Chains A and B, each alone.
Chain A
Amino acid sequence: MAGPIDPRLLRRARATKWYLAAGAGIGIATAVLTIGQAWLLARSLGGVFAVHTLDPVWPVLAPLAAVFAGKALLSWANTWLAQRASAAVKSQLRRDILRARLATPTASTTSTGSLITLLTTGLDALDGYFSKYLPQLVLAATVPALIVLAVGSADLASAVIIVVTLPLIPIFMALIGWTTEARTKRRWKVQQRLATHFFDLIAGLPTLQSFGRARAQRKGLAETEAAHRRETMGTLRVSFLSAFALELLATLSVAIVAVEVGFRVVYSDIDLTTAFFILILAPEAYLPVRQVGVHYHDSADGMAAADSAFAEIDRLTAMPRGTLAAPAVDASRVVFDGFAYRYPDAETDAVTGIDLTIEPGEIVALAGTSGVGKTTLLNALMGFVRPTAGRILVGDVDLAEIDPDAWRAQLAHVPQQPGMVRGSVGDNVLLGDTAATEARARAALDDAGGAGIPLDQPVGDDGEGLSAGERRRIATARAMLRVRSGARLLVLDEPTAGLDAEAERVLLASLRELGVGAVIVTHRPRVLAEVDRVVHLEDPVGAAV
């Protein structure tokens, strides 16, 4: 179990710190009111018991009502502040995640679907963490100490019982967690496998049906379900133990205090009012701790959400931006010097030992089998990823030192699966140069082999309404527009895939006409024949196939 508060939440999200400070204030005020409430109640109960009239009740009514109102107000304020803090933290995390996504657009291991889930409903798990768990944690840190002091001022023996038993709760919970950890972990793996079986079967149902095997799998499912239940119950029997320890210690301690005080009242060791005061306060000392236990799940869910958020964000901090001015790419050679790239968590390099020089104005094709790392080279050239060994030099400056925006301003990129924004075809071409006129966009699209695509054709979410070939032509037009607005190097990944021979010919002629350098990943013979130089990449030695 990690600490109760993720230090990253404190560091990264200032709203958390601020809330904890305010929450501590609320905690102290709550404790004071609780003590006041106990005192007023005890006095009136003891009084009525002694005199058998209503007299002791009247003076405490107004203050008691005020105390209850104050407690209600504080509990509301606690939730309110926590929710506000949650909103601020979520917003901060969303911003950081999106920035991280844009800082390393190709390095993503998270699919767009799970990113959106994380940004919207996923981070909402932090609401439970902030509104239920954290307030109780803050109360647990402030209230018991004050309550114990109050009890101690009335009766030392009762305070000692509380002081001794209260710390036992976290100790016992930790002990139980520690002794059962190995057992739980072992079971958890089995349980995980069984739990995914249903999901796996349901997700694979269309596949099973197409082989006529769906109905036959029901028997196997019944068996895994039974096994899953057995395993889960085995785990639960153990994991409920810590909640049991919590409940048992908290209630048993109150019972011990109550009986101890009760017998001392018989011998007039303490008076009834003091006894009531202690009895009312004793459970309040344990309440926040118990509530922390109750809301532990909210904490776990919130932490999981924060973990996925930080996993995304940490990629941003891993890559500092360069600051140097970019040398002109049409006057400097670009050199891959012992370039290697290894994906995070991979055991071997995806690309290794690449030495490659691109002269200014040269059109170079990169060829090689699938998975050989051609796209990785383009991503590194675009500054989306950094070499994990070796470097890329532009003139005599390391690309890692160069301001990426200034560098990319000289490049025009077409990825293998171009992204589209919502709007029209024209909007998408104009991404190449937002200041360009519609006529220039039209010309660029024609030159990219997209003469038949109207500029005002609507483009839906994720390029909906466009075929793969159309998308590629629009993206190529985008790149051409950018070259005509000043970019000096084309970076193209399979620009002619999905195009027929005629469209391919038009496109190649237009590229030549632009008169700028290009690095093209391709396997099409016609493209390979057109370029100045072809570089064949080999499978890296020892790389996974």
Chain B
Amino acid sequence: MSAPAAAPPRRGWLGLLRGLTADVPRAWPHFFAALLLAAAASAASVALMATSGWLLSRAAEHPPVLYLQVAAVGVRFFGISRGVFRYTERLVGHDLALKLQSALRLRVYGTLSRTTLLGRRRGDLLTRIVADVEAVMDLVVRVLVPFCSASLVILATTTLFAVFSPASAIVLLVSAVLAGGIVPWVAQRASRAADATAVPARGRLADSAHELSRASVDIVAYGLAEERLAALLDVDEELKRAEERAAVVRGIAVAGQVVAAGFAVLLILVLGAQEVAAGTLSPVMLAVLVLTPLTLHEVLSTLAQSAQTFTRAKVALRRVEAELTAEPVGAGDVPDAPPAEDPGLRLSGATIGWPRSEALLTGLDLRVGRGERVALVGPSGVGKTTVAATVMGLIPPQAGRVETHGRVGYLAQDAHIFSTTVSENVRIGNKDATRDDVVHALARAGLDLDPDRVVGELGSAVSGGEARRIALARLLVGDYQVWVLDEPTEHLDVITAAGVLDDLWRAAGDAPLLAITHDPAVMERCDRVVRLAR
């Protein structure tokens, strides 16, 4: 057993993003383009109000109309450009985000395909990572671009203000930091604290609902529905109360922004009027300074929202990053083996266990030769599927010898049915199989399905028995010489299970067969039963 390698340093979401930009050509120019477009869109709405304020004030001085034309054109330009900038920004941003997502998906797939997943109970991880990867879209479209562009607009506005009235510039910046940073931060903390009070009730509700749902037939049959439901509704009431209490703090962020904007408007009004009275500020600029904070609220609410999304995206991407940097386990793919004259498998004094983990079984001796059917039986958690992974060459034994002769085929209890045709599903077992091969294998697996029928998530559903038989057809189409069956009757109803076993035994012929099981019906059909103990 090799010494565990030092874990690579955590790179975090930024490191992950930097790595991804290497996979996407011209990612950074794209990013800055999106950022500038977003800033231009936000700036347009601020500029619209500011220019309009100037236009009205200047108009009140009754200058020749010609003097106002530039401002009028400016107002109209900002009125049109905002929508145009926003539309382009969204397209550029989403295109980049989709490219990064594709790059991340490929990386995740590449990494996961190189680590052995079989028997590691990672089904939930696989479904979660699919959702987690999507966080990279959010990170670009809903966090980085809006956050950077909003900050840019605030800084630019403050700078322009400083030219006319430094005091107003300071007020504007302070109110922006308050409304865009501090208030949302406080509100988020308050929200989180309030959410925490609902967590236990939520957990208990999920547990009770799970139990009620799984045992609903029994509970209803025995007339206990009302009693059980009443207990659950008490928990529900508790959750509702907690959520109602939490509702009090939800509006803080929005209210805080209104207060901050009001504070800025009032203070700038006083400061600006003073400067006008003192003659240091042109009266035409007063409306510009006072009205601008009113339009900044949109920019500021962007900041608050992107902070919220960031919290979620960060957690998801950290999980993805952990997967990407995890040390691979075993071979990933089953290594190709040449066909053997005398197929079989033999374990002598083998210690079975995952690499870099404790041994699950020691001194295992097992031999399955031509024509033999052996049942491998033991309590759950003893490592039966780990034995299968070792036999298939996915992981090495920790000690002792494991020899296999011939190609090892594996029939999983939860073999995945892909969202494609039956025929493509069967070809997983042998990519070079002809249509005739597939039809023949389906017939031998006892399945009367149209090879062109689309099955899986987006196709028509297949029953548990059909799924098991499609998996069997994969073994048959690929000329596997040694068969490893993992709980072949699990999740099947009694009659279907018996039918599947009949067909399995017939199809296996004299191939050496190792059946991992706890079903007495499977054991009955085997020549030998090997019982594993911890």
Interface residues, chain A, with chain B CB atoms under 8 Å away: 41, 44-45, 48-49, 52-54, 56-57, 61, 64-65, 67-69, 71-73, 75-81, 83-84, 86-88, 90-91, 94-95, 98-99, 101-102, 105-106, 108, 112, 115-116, 119-120, 131, 192-193, 196-218, 221-222, 225-226, 228-229, 232-233, 236-237, 240-241, 243-248, 251-256, 258-259, 261-263, 265-266, 268, 272, 275-276, 279-280, 283, 369-371, 382, 384, 405, 408-409, 411-413, 415-416, 418-422, 431-432, 434, 461-462, 467-469, 475, 478, 482, 491, 494, 497-498, 500, 523, 545
Tell me which residues across on chain A come within 8 A of B209, comparing CB atoms. Answer: 98, 115-116, 119
In the complex, whether B207 has a CB less than 8 A from a CB of chain A is yes
Complex A-B: 28 CB contacts under 8 Å: A48-B276, A64-B266, A67-B262, A72-B258, A72-B262, A77-B251, A83-B246, A90-B240, A98-B232, A102-B220, A112-B210, A119-B206, A201-B418, A210-B392, A211-B478, A228-B98, A243-B87, A243-B90, A244-B87, A255-B80, A259-B55, A262-B59, A262-B75, A265-B56, A272-B60, A275-B60, A408-B223, A411-B221
Report whether B258 and A240 are in contact in the complex, using a CB–CB cutoff of 8 Å: no
Distance (whole angstroms) from the CB of A367 to the closest CB of chain B: 9
> Which 8 A-B residue pairs are closest in the complex by CB-CB distance?
A255-B79, A419-B215, A68-B262, A79-B251, A83-B247, A204-B416, A248-B83, A76-B251
In the complex, whether B211 has a CB less than 8 A from a CB of chain A is yes
Tell me which residues across on chain A come within 8 A of B114, comparing CB atoms. Answer: 215
Tell me which residues across on chain A come within 8 A of B273, comparing CB atoms. Answer: 44, 48, 53-54, 56-57
Q: Which residue of B lies closest to A496 (CB)?
A: B494
Report whether A218 and B113 are in contact in the complex, using a CB–CB cutoff of 8 Å: yes
Report whether A65 and B266 are in contact in the complex, using a CB–CB cutoff of 8 Å: yes
Report whether B83 and A244 are in contact in the complex, using a CB–CB cutoff of 8 Å: yes
Q: Which residue of B lies closest to A229 (CB)?
A: B98
In the complex, whether B205 has a CB less than 8 A from a CB of chain A is yes
Report whether B457 and A200 are in contact in the complex, using a CB–CB cutoff of 8 Å: yes
Report whether A120 and B95 are in contact in the complex, using a CB–CB cutoff of 8 Å: no
Report B172-223 residues with CB < 8 Å from chain A CB.
202, 205-207, 209-223
In the complex, whether B450 has a CB less than 8 A from a CB of chain A is no
Report whether A462 and B105 are in contact in the complex, using a CB–CB cutoff of 8 Å: no
In the complex, whether B335 has a CB less than 8 A from a CB of chain A is yes
Tell me which residues across on chain B come within 8 A of A88, comparing CB atoms. Answer: 240, 244
Q: A236-B94, A461-B207 are in contact. Are A209 and B334 (CB under 8 A)?
A: yes
Interface residues, chain B, with chain A CB atoms under 8 Å away: 44-45, 48-49, 52-53, 55-57, 59-60, 62-63, 65, 68, 71-72, 75-76, 78-80, 82-84, 86-87, 90-91, 94-95, 98-99, 102, 105-106, 108-110, 112-114, 116-118, 126-127, 129-130, 133, 202, 205-207, 209-225, 229, 232-233, 236-237, 239-240, 243-244, 246-248, 250-252, 254-256, 258-259, 261-263, 265-266, 269-270, 272-274, 276-277, 283, 286-287, 290-291, 294-295, 332-336, 392, 394, 410, 412, 415-416, 418-419, 428-429, 431, 448, 456-458, 463, 465, 471, 474, 478, 493-496, 498-499, 518-520
Distance (whole angstroms) from the CB of B452 to the closest CB of chain A: 16
Distance (whole angstroms) from the CB of B129 to the closest CB of chain A: 7
Report whether A91 and B239 are in contact in the complex, using a CB–CB cutoff of 8 Å: yes
Q: A80-B250, A84-B244, A112-B210 are in contact. Are A408 and B102 (CB under 8 A)?
A: no
Q: Which of B290, B412, B494 contacts A45 (CB 8 A)?
A: B290
Q: Which of B72, B105, B259 contacts A68 (CB 8 A)?
A: B259
Tell me which residues across on chain B come within 8 A of A245, comparing CB atoms. Answer: 83
Q: A73-B255, A101-B216, A102-B216 are in contact. Are A409 and B333 (CB under 8 A)?
A: no
Report whether A48 and B110 are in contact in the complex, using a CB–CB cutoff of 8 Å: no
CA distance A225 to B76 in the complex (A): 41
Report whether A422 and B283 are in contact in the complex, using a CB–CB cutoff of 8 Å: no
Which of A77, A116, A243, A432 has the largest number of chain B CB atoms within 10 A?
A116
Q: Which applies to chain A's interface (DSSP): helix, strand, loop or mixed?
A: helix
Q: Which of A218, A265, A545 contacts B106 (CB 8 A)?
A: A218
Report whether A247 and B130 are in contact in the complex, using a CB–CB cutoff of 8 Å: no
Q: A203-B127, A236-B91 are in contact. Are A83 and B214 (CB under 8 A)?
A: no
Report whether B109 and A283 are in contact in the complex, using a CB–CB cutoff of 8 Å: no
Tell me which residues across on chain A come within 8 A of B127, comparing CB atoms. Answer: 199, 202-203
Report whether A265 and B494 are in contact in the complex, using a CB–CB cutoff of 8 Å: no
Report whether B113 and A262 are in contact in the complex, using a CB–CB cutoff of 8 Å: no
Tell me which residues across on chain A come within 8 A of B471, comparing CB atoms. Answer: 207
Q: Which residue of A lies closest to B209 (CB)?
A: A119
Report whether A112 and B213 are in contact in the complex, using a CB–CB cutoff of 8 Å: yes
Q: A101-B213, A131-B250, A263-B72 are in contact. Are A91 and B224 (CB under 8 A)?
A: no
CA distance A411 to B210 in the complex (A): 25
Q: Which of B205, B286, B428 contacts A211 (CB 8 A)?
A: B428
Tell me which residues across on chain A come within 8 A of B44, comparing CB atoms. Answer: 251
Q: Which residue of B lies closest to A66 (CB)?
A: B262
Distance (whole angstroms) from the CB of A374 to the closest CB of chain B: 9
Tell me which residues across on chain A come within 8 A of B412, comparing CB atoms. Answer: 206-207, 210
Tell me which residues across on chain A come within 8 A of B498, comparing CB atoms. Answer: 523
Report whether B86 and A244 are in contact in the complex, using a CB–CB cutoff of 8 Å: yes
Tell me which residues across on chain A come within 8 A of B80, comparing CB atoms. Answer: 248, 251-252, 255
Q: A65-B266, A215-B114 are in contact. Are A280 and B72 (CB under 8 A)?
A: no
Which of B78, B79, B243 has the largest number of chain A CB atoms within 10 A?
B79
Q: A214-B332, A263-B72 are in contact. Are A84 and B247 (CB under 8 A)?
A: yes
Report whether A71 and B266 are in contact in the complex, using a CB–CB cutoff of 8 Å: no
Report whether A279 and B334 are in contact in the complex, using a CB–CB cutoff of 8 Å: no
Report whether A251 and B78 are in contact in the complex, using a CB–CB cutoff of 8 Å: yes
Q: A68-B259, A196-B457, A432-B222 are in contact. Are A49 and B60 (CB under 8 A)?
A: yes
Tell me which residues across on chain B come within 8 A of A275, comparing CB atoms. Answer: 56, 59-60
CA distance A486 to B95 in the complex (A): 69
Report whether B287 and A45 are in contact in the complex, using a CB–CB cutoff of 8 Å: yes
Distance (whole angstroms) from the CB of A203 to the closest CB of chain B: 6
CA distance A112 to B208 in the complex (A): 12
Report whether B291 and A57 are in contact in the complex, using a CB–CB cutoff of 8 Å: no
Report whether A212 and B106 are in contact in the complex, using a CB–CB cutoff of 8 Å: no
Which of B63, B266, B474 has the largest number of chain A CB atoms within 10 A?
B266
Report whether B494 and A494 are in contact in the complex, using a CB–CB cutoff of 8 Å: yes
Which of B95, B112, B215 has the largest number of chain A CB atoms within 10 A?
B215
Report whether B118 and A415 are in contact in the complex, using a CB–CB cutoff of 8 Å: no
Report whether B90 and A236 are in contact in the complex, using a CB–CB cutoff of 8 Å: yes
Q: Which residue of B lies closest to A462 (CB)?
A: B214
Q: Which residue of B lies closest to A102 (CB)?
A: B225
